[in-house]
Amino acid sequence: MAFSNRVSVAIIGGGIGGLSLAIGLLQNKTLDVAIFETAPKFAEIGAGVALGPNAQQALALISPAAERAFRIHATTSLSPEFEHVWFDFRNGNAGEKDGEVLSKVENETGQQTVHRAKFLDELVKLIPREIAHFGKRLVHIQKDPVSGGAQYKLFFEDGTTASADCVIGADGIHSSVRKHLLGESHPAASPVFTGTVVYRGLIPMDVARDAIGEFADNSYMWCGDGGMVMTYPIDHGETLNVVGTRNNKGGWDGPPYARPVDEETVRNDFMGWGEIPSKVIQLLKQPTMWAILDHYPAPYYYSGNVAIMGDAAHATTPFQGAGAGQAIEDALVLSTLFQQVTNSGLVRPALAAYNDVRLRRTQKVVATSRDALRLFCFNDRYVDGDAQRWREVWDGRMDWLWGMDLEKQNMEAVNLFADIVARQSSTRETMPKFGPGPFPVATSTV
């Protein structure tokens, strides 16, 4: 098969992960990059998104401009002594242990949060307008017969189509690309409800300070029986972001997976908690309730020249603040590998190397995030609410996540890519697909 020296890459989804990937891929002039976004414009839902040291470094390695896009709107805890504090964990139960310090977890960057929409707006400025296509809800992927099966044909809900040498799904937890990749009947194809809900709300900082004083200025996690209340400043200290979590909620009647909820429901769910979390919950106006979903582990992240990344590949619960960071790490590894892609025949080796490097780490994030909630909600029989045991468990727990050597990871990916290409060349064999690859050659060009 003759390989094209121009490689077209279709990114499905224009969120933080998809745009980070596009920014990285655009540095390879061999690539023709296109973004297909379901919404009528680039948009993110939710208030704050936290990026740990690893995520910030990944942004910088993708592009210094991408890191600056984060720093423009990033908010940290406001007190100097919290500069390196991720969260100050406190006992949130009422009683004699109310407010007891469980652990103060630190890292290089502390708790740094940005408003999702504002961060996305800055990333959009780094993307040429002509590569973005809106109102494009993907419904089907097939091998394109016009190209002799060398390309993929994308079918969108509005009746339009597009073709590409490579398709990368950055289309979130309800990913269409994931369903095509694994097959719709696969148990890991669609997200599952974890039994946990979160209540989200925003409080003006002056109102929050009047109620809880200096506790409004910094990042706190109030842990209690069956739940937790997380608070931290956003919007450069103008607003207090509040996330209240309750687990063991049974089923969820959805979609939608986020909906308005009356204030009394939230207050009842945290009735009898300690002083500070109770005051915070009382201040919430027009809260929303979100179902917390994740995926069963996917056995692979690519098949042929189609891959998934970010939440489409490894949607995680938010209890380690790592979801967006892992999407950015994915974008970094893919961008690094695609710097080596000089013709369409090198796409599959690049995706194979990406899969091998990223699958284990990202699925560990999903598993440990679920486990973290058990600790936060005092569901761990050993730790429960014991401060000494809490510190035993949390001491160094996040080091593997935050302290990843990303340049070493990049080098590992590039070396794997080179090995795969060398094996292909020496055996003159076509690289087999990874996984079942449900991509039949289209019988119609409609």
Active site residues: 200
Angle, vertex CA 25, rays to CA 23 and CA 30, nearest 5? 135
Q: Is 328 helix (H, G, I), strand (E, B) or coil?
A: helix
- Please name which of 139, 131, 415, 144 lies closest in space to residue 305, comparing C-alpha atoms: 144
Task: Name the one residue in this structure whose structure tokens are 């890519």.
Answer: 417
Angle, vertex CA 222, rays to CA 216 and CA 226, nearest 5? 145
* Angstrom distance (rounded) from CA 230 to CA 269: 15
The sign of the dihedral angle between the CA atoms of 60, 66, 68, 71 is: negative
* Angstrom distance (rounded) from CA 281 to CA 274: 11
For residue 137, the cross-strand partners are none
Amino acid at position 417, single letter: F
Structure tokens given for 16: 């933080």
Relative to beta strand 288-294, strand 192-204 is: antiparallel
Return the half-sphere exposure (C-beta side, CA atoms, 13 A cut-off) of residue 371.
Answer: 11
DSSP state for residue 27 in the 8-state scheme? T
E strand or H helix at 433: none
Residue 143 backbone phi and psi in degrees, to 5 = -65, 140
* Angstrom distance (rounded) from CA 68 to CA 242: 26
Return the half-sphere exposure (C-beta side, CA atoms, 13 A cut-off) of residue 383.
Answer: 23
* Angstrom distance (rounded) from CA 336 to CA 340: 7
Structure tokens given for 40: 């009528």
For residue 113, the cross-strand partners are 50, 75
Q: How far out from the chain centre does Cα 2 lie?
A: 37
CA-to-CA dists, residue 44 to 15, 53, 109, 114, 359, angstroms: 7, 22, 24, 12, 25
Structure tokens given for 229: 């209340």
DSSP state for residue 230 in the 8-state scheme? E
Amino acid at position 310, single letter: G
